[in-house]
A and B are shown apart, each in its own frame.
Chain A
Amino acid sequence: MTDVVTGAAKSVETPEGLASVEAVLSMLAQSGYIATPEIATAVYLAHHLRKPVLIEGPAGVGKTDLARSVALGLDQPLIRMQCYEGLDESKALYEWKYGKQLLYTQILKDKIGHLVEDADSLDEALHKLNGFQDIFFSRDFLEPRPLLKAMEQSTGSVLLIDEIDKSDEEFEALLLEVLSDYQVTVPEIGTIAAQVPPLVVLTSNATRELGDALKRRCLHLHIDFPDAELEARIVRTRVPGISDRLLERLVAFIQAVRGENIRKLPSISETIDWARTLILLHADSLEPAMVRSTLNVILKRQSDIAEVSGKVEALLDSGDKAGR
């Protein structure tokens, strides 16, 4: 346990990008991520309280992108772990390199004769061998998986645990040790504490309710669809070639569509895709016919497309009114 204490007590210098909420905002802006004050505050607190951030919100609003941008802004490696049903510790924490262990056993087999040659009794032979036993379960044979890898980064890292809601509840329990103490326990070796606690970002699409224990350990950030002004800024950063007129109408239209009764609302990633599509098609304003033929970029369900395509003119008008 001693190394745990020293590991946790090691003070971490605050990188420049995390010095204040404003600094976080500008750092994220430099890596191309337009953040709200809420997002910046969460990142700022995550570093200073040394707590993971749990981000919830609809798909495609930039949850995963936030982690990527933070890593880029801090110039730290991004270690990503995608969650899925059946994910377990051998894929998340560590695994023993079975092949290598087997190979070494073969080599040892040849050598073992030499080693126990001069031993008189079985007891003595065993005693001699005892000294070598642990080599098979040492760091050399340990294959680090994302969580352990994140603990081992000496420069600090951003650990992204993506779509935690897709994993099983057992895995959530496994995460608790990692997230609260920044350490991983390998029974054969001991506890490995993080040299520099990573900045942990968890994302969830809320397909299931997460456990209370996990939620209590995390800072909670809810990212929703952005308002028109923010969305326009985001699209402008991501699609620099877009004209002001098109951008304004496009964002107004998307905002109007989100007010409709459809199953899968378009999110920012769809807005960006659509903006790129329209530029490729050399459209410089939104015409109903053009909108109809490209609706499949922003809507992903046939019933939604049918619903919206009947209302394109009305939505364009209402969007225009709201825009003015």
Chain B
Amino acid sequence: MERTLTRYIRALRSAGAGVSTTEAMDAARTVEVVGWEDRRVLKTALGTVLAKSVEEKAIHEQLFELYFSREAAAAAASEGQPGEGGDPDSGRPGEGEAGTDPQSGDAEGDEGGDPVEALSALARGENPGKMAMALERAGAAAGVDEIRFATQSGYYVRKMMEQMGVEALEARLMEALGRRDAQGQADAEALMGDRSALQKQTRAFVEARFEIYGRSAQDAFMNEILAERSFGALGRSDTARMRALVERMAKRLAVRHARRRKVRDRGRLDVRRTLRANAGHDGVPFDIIWKIKRKDRPKIVAVCDVSGSVAQYVRFLLLFLHALKEKVTDLETFAFSAHLADVGRPLETLPFETAMRAIVDEVGSGGTDYGAAFLELDRDFGEVIDRRTTVLILGDGRSNYSNPRLDVFKQIADQAKRLVWLCPEPAPNWGSGDSCLLEYRPFCTLLTQCSTVIDLERALDEILMAYD
């Protein structure tokens, strides 16, 4: 039974719930206290010990049912065979050894009958308990728990069937087909039926295992791919997954920056102030003054180009920023295309997709004009930018050959703590055609390409770092 628990913990881990060794030990003690008998009690008890957040609880909830319904089936199967216990791994009868031998390993040795007959009988479902046992054994031998992708299931199904001795059955099938008489045809049909029944059950078994061990690994893999894909190349179907991914990254980032260092740069002498303070003592430093660095709370003013060419990128920036709310409480968002508008309110009150549509409607399509947008920002909302503000601009800098208004841009840059420009285009394209990026560049603290969610995370990490 201990194995069962260890394997369940392994399944939890592969599903993304971090279970430490201490917790695994606690789980073992929990089982000692509550016992295996009552599944409902066991489930809630393990839930309190192993799952330490709402997300982990959801994983546990789902996985427990998947895992222990299988476990229960295996236990029921073993009941017919005394002295085995409920553990599918050690669940081999004492006399039957060498589970890897396809011929004798699973053909019920104790019955002494024909192995093919026995396998057919199993496939026909004459003894579901024995079938479950046989599947467990073949699964363990084939290493089905290593499954990571749905596409691997065909391979594992075949491997398991071979473990159970399907080759002998197939040989007999071929032989029956070759006989070309009525009896042979009937035999062949029966064997074919058994074979497909066996395949069906094996497939169901493999798919259940995939749900337990593989699904989350596949998810993680897909997330990894998605994280490196350009926002512009995202399909509609990726959006939901992407949103979940962004939310997780934002949470991680918030935690990383949550630790506000209390100990300010101590140990650095402020020479200037010390000298001045001690001028009265003839320059003898009685009062020593240390440099103190005040930590600002992050304040971000995001200015986003929402014209057609960049809209997709903006979505994820805004999503990310709003997911960061826990850390960045002071956030102002502006969107512009033909003109500029404060979009903080719609983003906060409306569901995200509706808000995005409303925003694009409000600032209008038509030619993007960066110069006009900066002018409006400075004129109408100039007071939101102060010396602890990071101004974050997302746009391609393609201003349709209008006046870039560098004077206004310089003023904004001077007013702000830092000015970060994220551009979806790769660096070689900067300054080509109607792009004024290179003209804006000297005033930016940081100008970087940002086309994937990883770029985005890195950029925001960098921005928050300035406040740590």
Residues of A within 8 A of B (CB): 21, 37-38, 41-42, 44-45, 48-49, 51, 53-54, 56, 168-169, 208-209, 215-222
Cα distance, A54 to B54, chains bound together (Å): 13
Cα distance, A208 to B326, chains bound together (Å): 8
Query: Given A49-B26, A215-B53, 11 other A-B contacts at CB below 8 A?
Result: A37-B44, A38-B48, A41-B48, A56-B54, A209-B251, A216-B22, A217-B22, A220-B51, A220-B57, A221-B48, A222-B57
| From B40, B52, B53, contact of A37 by CB (8 A) | B40
A209 in contact with B258 (CB, 8 Å): yes
CB distance from A298 to the nearest CB of B (A): 21
Across the interface, which residues of A come within 8 angstroms of B47, CB to CB?
A: 38
A-B contact pairs, 26 of them (CB 8 A): A37-B40, A37-B44, A38-B44, A38-B48, A41-B34, A41-B41, A41-B44, A41-B45, A41-B48, A45-B30, A48-B33, A49-B26, A49-B33, A49-B49, A53-B48, A56-B54, A208-B326, A209-B258, A215-B52, A216-B20, A218-B52, A219-B49, A220-B48, A220-B51, A221-B48, A222-B57
**Which residue of chain A lies nearest to B38 when distances are taken between CB atoms in the complex?**
A21
Cα distance, A19 to B270, chains bound together (Å): 65
Across the interface, which residues of A come within 8 angstroms of B262, CB to CB?
A: 168
Across the interface, which residues of B come within 8 angstroms of A54, CB to CB?
A: 52
Prevailing SS type, chain B contact patch:
helix
A45 in contact with B33 (CB, 8 Å): yes
B33 in contact with A42 (CB, 8 Å): no
Cα distance, A221 to B259, chains bound together (Å): 25
**Which residue of chain B lies nearest to A170 when distances are taken between CB atoms in the complex?**
B262
CB distance from B65 to the nearest CB of A (A): 16
* Contact bitstring B154-183, A, C-beta under 8 A = 1, else 0: 000000000000000000000000000000
Interface assignment of B23: CB less than 8 Å from any CB of chain A: yes
Cα distance, A49 to B326, chains bound together (Å): 34
| From A21, A209, A218, A222, contact of B255 by CB (8 A) | A209
CB distance from A251 to the nearest CB of B (A): 24
Across the interface, which residues of B come within 8 angstroms of A21, CB to CB?
A: 34, 41
**Which residue of chain B lies nearest to A53 when distances are taken between CB atoms in the complex?**
B48
User: Given the interface contacts A41-B41, A48-B33, A49-B33, does A219 sit within 8 Å of B48 by beta carbon?
Assistant: yes
User: Given the interface contacts A37-B40, A208-B258, A209-B255, does A220 sit within 8 Å of B52 by beta carbon?
Assistant: yes
Cα distance, A191 to B437, chains bound together (Å): 65
User: Given the interface contacts A49-B33, A51-B26, A169-B259, does A216 sit within 8 Å of B52 by beta carbon?
Assistant: yes
CB distance from B348 to the nearest CB of A (A): 10
CB distance from A221 to the nearest CB of B (A): 6
Across the interface, which residues of B come within 8 angstroms of A53, CB to CB?
A: 48
Across the interface, which residues of A come within 8 angstroms of B51, CB to CB?
A: 220
Across the interface, which residues of B come within 8 angstroms of A42, CB to CB?
A: 48
Cα distance, A49 to B54, chains bound together (Å): 22
Bin chain B's interface residue count: 20 to 34
Cα distance, A168 to B258, chains bound together (Å): 11
Interface assignment of B229: CB less than 8 Å from any CB of chain A: no
Cα distance, A269 to B312, chains bound together (Å): 44
Within 8 A of A (CB), among B16-46: 20, 22-23, 26, 29-30, 33-34, 40-41, 44-45
B29 in contact with A49 (CB, 8 Å): yes
CB distance from A205 to the nearest CB of B (A): 13
**Which residue, A41, A49, A216, has most C-beta atoms of chain B within 10 A?**
A41
Cα distance, A217 to B20, chains bound together (Å): 10
* Contact bitstring B253-272, A, C-beta under 8 A = 1, else 0: 01100110010000000000
Across the interface, which residues of A come within 8 angstroms of B54, CB to CB?
A: 56, 222
CB distance from B272 to the nearest CB of A (A): 32
Across the interface, which residues of A come within 8 angstroms of B53, CB to CB?
A: 215, 220
**Which residue of chain A lies nearest to B47 when distances are taken between CB atoms in the complex?**
A38
Cα distance, A44 to B255, chains bound together (Å): 32
Cα distance, A43 to B296, chains bound together (Å): 42
Cα distance, A37 to B54, chains bound together (Å): 17
* Contact bitstring B212-229, A, C-beta under 8 A = 1, else 0: 000000000000000000
Cα distance, A216 to B24, chains bound together (Å): 11
B30 in contact with A49 (CB, 8 Å): yes
Cα distance, A42 to B57, chains bound together (Å): 14
Cα distance, A221 to B44, chains bound together (Å): 10
CB distance from B258 to the nearest CB of A (A): 6
Question: Top 7 closest A-B pairs, CB basis?
Answer: A41-B44, A220-B52, A219-B48, A215-B52, A48-B33, A42-B48, A38-B44
Cα distance, A281 to B45, chains bound together (Å): 44
**Which residue, B23, B29, B44, B255, has most C-beta atoms of chain A within 10 A?**
B44
Across the interface, which residues of A come within 8 angstroms of B251, CB to CB?
A: 209
CB distance from B50 to the nearest CB of A (A): 9
Across the interface, which residues of A come within 8 angstroms of B20, CB to CB?
A: 216
Cα distance, A53 to B52, chains bound together (Å): 11
CB distance from A236 to the nearest CB of B (A): 24
Cα distance, A222 to B53, chains bound together (Å): 8
Across the interface, which residues of A come within 8 angstroms of B33, CB to CB?
A: 44-45, 48-49
Across the interface, which residues of A come within 8 angstroms of B48, CB to CB?
A: 38, 41-42, 45, 53, 219-221
Across the interface, which residues of B come within 8 angstroms of A44, CB to CB?
A: 33
**Which residue of chain B lies nearest to A219 when distances are taken between CB atoms in the complex?**
B48
Within 8 A of A (CB), among B196-234: none
CB distance from B261 to the nearest CB of A (A): 11
Across the interface, which residues of B come within 8 angstroms of A168, CB to CB?
A: 262
B49 in contact with A45 (CB, 8 Å): yes
**Which residue of chain B lies nearest to A38 when distances are taken between CB atoms in the complex?**
B44
Cα distance, A42 to B45, chains bound together (Å): 7
CB distance from B434 to the nearest CB of A (A): 42
CB distance from B190 to the nearest CB of A (A): 50
Cα distance, A132 to B255, chains bound together (Å): 50
Cα distance, A222 to B60, chains bound together (Å): 13
Within 8 A of A (CB), among B299-338: 326
Across the interface, which residues of A come within 8 angstroms of B41, CB to CB?
A: 21, 37, 41
Cα distance, A208 to B40, chains bound together (Å): 31
Cα distance, A57 to B33, chains bound together (Å): 26
Across the interface, which residues of B come within 8 angstroms of A51, CB to CB?
A: 26
CB distance from B77 to the nearest CB of A (A): 29
Cα distance, A118 to B33, chains bound together (Å): 66
Across the interface, which residues of A come within 8 angstroms of B254, CB to CB?
A: 209
B258 in contact with A45 (CB, 8 Å): no
Across the interface, which residues of B come within 8 angstroms of A41, CB to CB?
A: 34, 41, 44-45, 48
Across the interface, which residues of B come within 8 angstroms of A208, CB to CB?
A: 258, 326
CB distance from A293 to the nearest CB of B (A): 26
Cα distance, A49 to B34, chains bound together (Å): 11
Cα distance, A112 to B251, chains bound together (Å): 63
CB distance from B15 to the nearest CB of A (A): 17
